[in-house]
Amino acid sequence: MDLNDITFEIRGAAFSVHNELGPGLLESVYESSMAYELIRSGLKVRTQVPLPVIYKEIKLELGFRIDLLVEESVIVEIKSVDLIHDVHKKQLLTYLRLSKKKVGLLINFNSMKLVEKETIIRIVN
C-alpha cells in the first residue's frame, strides 16, 4: 500500500468519525475512534508513539508523542481546536523530521464540516 492509499484510508476514517461524533469532543476521543476505524479497515496503527529527540549523540526523552502512526509511515496529528494555526503545522512537520517520515495529516475535528486543506491538512517532509 503506498502513501496515497494510506492517506486516502485515513481521510475516509476521519470523515466517518466526524459524521458519527461531530465536533466538540476531546482529542483523545477522536484519536481512539480513528484508531478503531483504521484497524477495522485492516491498517496497522500505533497510538501515542514516543518520539525522542536526538541531539548530537544524545537521545533526549522529552515527552513528544505521535497521536497515530499508520502503517509505520504516516503520522496523524489530531486536534480539536477553534482554528488550525501555523504552530500546529510546524509541530507536525517537526514530528515528520524527527521520525524521518515523509507524510503526515493534521486533522481538526472541532469544525462543523471536515474540509480538505482547511480541517484536513497534508504536510510533506
User: Counting every residue, how long is the chain?
Assistant: 125
Residue listed under C-alpha cell 514530528:
95
- Who has greater pLDDT, 61 or 22? 22
The whole-number average pLDDT for the span 53-70 is 92
Q: Per-residue pLDDT for 94 more than 90?
A: yes
Give the contacts of 37 (CB within 8 A, at least 6 positions apart). 13, 16, 17
Mean pLDDT over all residues of the chain? 96
The whole-number average pLDDT for the span 70-84 is 97
Distance between CA atoms of residues 65 and 43, nearest Å? 20
pLDDT class for 88, splitting at 50, 70, 90?
Answer: very high
Q: Per-residue pLDDT for 109 more than 90?
A: yes
Q: Per-residue pLDDT for 61 more than 90?
A: no
Class of domain 3-124: alpha beta
Q: What per-residue confidence (pLDDT) applies to 30?
A: 98
